[in-house]
Amino acid sequence: MGMVFSGEVALVTGGAAGIGRETALAFAAEGLKVVVSDVDVAGGEGTVALIRNAGGTASFIRCDVTRDAEVKALMEATLAAYGRLDYAFNNAGIEIEQGDRLPDGTEAEFDAIMNVNVKGVWNCLRHQLPIMLAQGGGAVVNTASIAGLCAAPKMSIYAASKHAVIGLTKSAAIEYARKKVRVNAVCPAVIDTEMFRRAHGGDEQYAAGVASRHPMGRVGQPGEIAAAVLFLCSDGAAFTTGHALTVDGGWTAI
């Protein structure tokens, strides 16, 4: 049984691969028109090709979410192409610092992670929310992490960025709670994406160790996060806003 959606246009940032690609495909499978955005042009166009080959409607628009002018142009291009923006999945992000204790992190790492993970979400929200308000409603989901809910030793900058995403999410949700615009976040544990594969670098013992830390004994799949995002956008979540939904194989229940 498919989910029920009141709108018809969805935007996915970070849509070139992994969670973003799977979510774009899932939106399209539900009959929505999808705008895919990323700095990875080849990957983003690849996602659009997969959607079109399956009979869906999609467009790719390159955007660096850290640049306000590019985000503004992305929203304008979305409206020009499809006339509205009903759902936005602000998923663009970069990975953790590589195992540094807090004093070992560099200013360059801090700036890079915060610019994409926090400023990028903030830029998107500040251009998406007025559009949704003007058209009478909409739903936004931001990608946070379980690192935004609990301690994350040796990845303090990344954890701080994801705590900030949850703060943005809750604040925006309350601001717009009576205006028919819902804002939620999804908080994955470790997901089997290229980002995870870069982290373990082919070290299967390391990968197995990470998987075993999840009570379910495995890492998650991108499609499992996509399903959570679509639920938060769907009419089934009509009374849900300001929520950080964990999809973590039980990690945060320990």
Which positions are catalytic?
158
DSSP for 107-167, written as a single string: HHHHHHHHIIIIIHHHHHHHHHHHHHHHHT-EEEEEE--GGGTS--TT-HHHHHHHHHHHH
List CB contacts of 119: < 8 A, sequence separation 6 or more: 65, 66
Residues 107, 118: Cα–Cα separation, whole Å: 16
Token pair 């013992």 in the structure block, residue = 205
Question: Backbone phi, then psi, for 245, in 5-degree steps?
Answer: -85, 115
